[in-house]
A and B are shown apart, each in its own frame.
Chain A
Amino acid sequence: MTEAILTSARAALAAAPPTGDPAYERYCRELAKRLAAHWPAVLDANAQDLARAEERGLSPVLLDRLRLTDAHLGRLEHLTEAVLNELGRVTARDPGVPIGDWGVRLRSPKPLGVVFMVYEARPTVTVEGALLPVAVGNAVLLRGGKEIARTNEALSAVAREALEAAGLPAHLVTVLDDPDRAQLRALLKRPDAVDVLIPRGSPSLIDYCRSASTIPVIASGGGVNHVYVHKSADLGLAAEVALDSKLPEPTACNTAEMMLVDAEVADDLVAAVLHAAERDNRQVTVRLDPRVPRPGGEAGGDSGAGGERPWRIDELQEHDLGREFLDATIGVRAVEGLDEALAHIRRHGSGHTEGVLAADRGVSEEFTRRVDAAAIVVNGSLRLHDGPTLGLGSEISISTGRMHVRGPVTLGSLVTHSWVVEAHGTLRSSVTAHRP
């Protein structure tokens, strides 16, 4: 079975037109059109998955992750449109660069090949996987969680229909429907047939893919992200950055987990955060370094009395260092300056997104020189780190890897290139004479 899947995917890749062919634009349009046309069927399938998951006792939060709504359709249609608009930029012909007086070198984009995406129970990832890699000529194998098996089956039919309507090989998208982990293991052992692995989901899954396979991996190492607040920072801005970096999407990989704040302004920062939370009724839990005085003194207590206030204060524990809270919790730890903040980030950070807040330009420049992360945000929210917001284009994930792509994994990251050398009849022996 595994062999047949790989053979079909590689055959589709070989039969597909070159990256940049108009068929891929047609595919984006057809996918949007057919998603809309078949959305009721997709929702029916999704309802079956939800009913089964509910029977199995999944929590409401997890059920929400599985659930598709009309709002998702709108977002997916927007994504297909965005990808369509970005294709030209990625596939435009390189004007080339002269080489001496004899030729021109230019890059020609090529697909990465067969891309294997492994993820959990987010049905929108199935559409993202069927869209972004395929739009630039890759074949994809999509293995989602069995919790969304029926939804994926419906989405698979939509993608296949769109491929055929666009004149592309149907096996450019293969949704794997075998929940057996043996198939997953077998595919991970095929670097000869799978070119890139993109795991999205739980840390165990990503760690497993990284350690069990020799296939190149594009993945996020999780987001243990910090914001260093220098004493020169505007603390009102720092409070807003703290809340904006955490609350809108507390489980996203680009949220802030810990504010590292110069000790002399730590209590003022906490006061500013609580004030901002209270002003806008934003629910937040602050895990506070015991060295930082609690607002209102020891009796300042755990939270707004009787739940009148939207904030809560807990004590920061040793095990909170280097963790992702995965909820509306943010840590505040006092540091004795930039060096201590950098040491903390080196020890506990995951190299995803780090931030600095400072009016002193020298401090922020030093921070950006010495911190090593996929993105470093100066005087702003960590959630600015995503492809569309940065103007880099639609993304399929954010990579913390050091090779090929770091940060937003956009269409441009889903291609490699060939060097095209326009030599105009030049022979190598005639060029040698010009070498230094």
Chain B
Amino acid sequence: MITGLDRDAVAESVKRVVIAESRLSLKPADIDDHEPLNGEILRVNSLGFVGMLVRLEDELDIVLPDDLFVGRSFETVHDLIEIVLLGAEASQ
């Protein structure tokens, strides 16, 4: 993917927020890219997205579109990373 954002930085930020959102005491490195967002380890629901979005925007110094998640399917951390990369690119 062509983007001005460092994918590793995005991945680390996304993992940090989904860990916080799932109320876990883990490090980003403990989460695999293909970990389900709602599975054995992570518990992320869409009502928590406001908090996740503002944290991601601040951490990555980007502005994400309000409708970032509308009409998109995302099941894993990898999906979320890709959506954030796309959203950041679209808003640039």
Contact = CB atoms under 8 A, between A and B. Distances in A.
Interface string A314-342: 00000101111010000000000000000
A202 to B, nearest CB: 3
Contact of B51 (A58, A202, A222, A323): A202
Nearest to B52: A204
B92 interface: no
A185 B63 CA distance: 12
A90 B55 CA distance: 37
Contacts, number: 80
A348 B24 CA distance: 10
A58 B50 CA distance: 15
Contacts of B78: none
Given A323-B23, A323-B25, A181 B54 contact: yes
Contact of B55 (A121, A207, A224): A207
A201 B48 CA distance: 7
Interface stretch (B3-11, B14-22, B82-90): B14-22
Contacts of A179: 66
A117 to B, nearest CB: 13
Nearest to B72: A57
A145 B47 contact: yes
Contacts of A202: 21, 47-48, 50-52
A324 B52 CA distance: 18
A62 interface: yes
B20 A203 contact: yes
A58 B46 contact: yes
A160 to B, nearest CB: 25
Interface in A265-315: none
Given A181-B57, A181-B66, A201 B51 contact: yes
Given A204-B48, A348-B25, A326 B54 contact: no
B53 A181 contact: yes
A197 interface: no
A147 B47 contact: yes
B25 A120 contact: no
Contact of A326 (B23, B26, B57): B23
B46 A324 contact: no
A62 B46 contact: yes
Interface string A190-215: 00000000000111111110001000
Contacts of B66: 179-181
Given A202-B51, A205-B51, A207-B51, 18 more contacts: A58-B46, A65-B47, A145-B50, A181-B50, A181-B66, A184-B54, A201-B48, A202-B21, A202-B52, A203-B23, A207-B20, A207-B55, A208-B55, A319-B24, A323-B24, A324-B23, A326-B23, A348-B25
Nearest 8 pairs of A and B residues by beta carbon: A205-B51, A204-B51, A202-B48, A322-B25, A324-B23, A120-B47, A202-B51, A204-B52
